[in-house]
Amino acid sequence: MKNRKLYKILKNKFDYVDGDLIYKDGRRTGKAAGTISTSHGYRNLSVDGKVYLVHRMIYLYCHGYLPPVIDHIDTDKLNNRIENLRPATQEQNAYNAKLSKANSSGIKGVSWHKATQKWQVVLKVKKKHIWLGCYADIKDAEAAVKEHREQLHGEFTNHGDKAA
């Protein structure tokens, strides 16, 4: 196991309780480990002088291994309950992203196409853009993108309407 030493340290220093690693002993006994980073919004934790993301340490603590990417199912960076964490590829993690703040239509994958004066639908899968057409009615565009997203993204489907 690549992370055997780190796993043993976690098991010795912490208990897992409902989404938190809790210190077992010392002056911080009973307190949740980690602080929220202002740069990325995830909770960080220092273990033996190295900084880790708490959700990754919780996954290691509970499962005994670390996948390359861990996805927060509900997209909440601070919801580190083990049932909210799942291994993913970078692409699957991107499928589960929230609606971008730059999105002007309010619907993931839908944008206004000036040349046709219609709503354009585009999905990204395996680093390729899949063009699904243009629609006069935004509701038709939304239905098309949701149907195709569910087929292509599977369990990682996020239409952008999950809790932010």
pLDDT in tens, 134-161: 999 999 999 999 999 999 999 999 998 7
Give the helix ranges, DSSP H, for 31-137.
54-63, 90-95
Q: Specify the pTM.
A: 0.85
pLDDT score of 104 more than 80: yes
pLDDT score of 2 more than 70: no
Quick: pLDDT tens for 52-72: 999 999 999 999 999 999 999
Q: How high is the mean pLDDT of the chain? A: 93
Q: Which sequence spans correspond to the domains of the chain?
A: 4-88, 98-156
pLDDT score of 1 more than 70: no
| Residue 40 structure tokens | 């990325």
Q: How many CB atoms lie within 10 A of CB 90?
A: 9
pLDDT for the residue 3: 87
DSSP state, residue 137: S
Q: Which residues have C-beta within 8 Å of that of residue 17, sequence separation ≥ 6? A: none
Compute the distance between CA of residue 76 and CA of residue 156 in angstroms, rounded to an integer. 14
* Chosen CATH of 98-156 out of 3.10.620, 1.10.286, 3.30.730, 3.30.460: 3.30.730
pLDDT for the residue 27: 92
CB 28 within 8 A of CB 13: no
Strands 35-36 and 43-47: antiparallel
**CATH 3.90.75.20 is the classification of domain 4-88:** yes
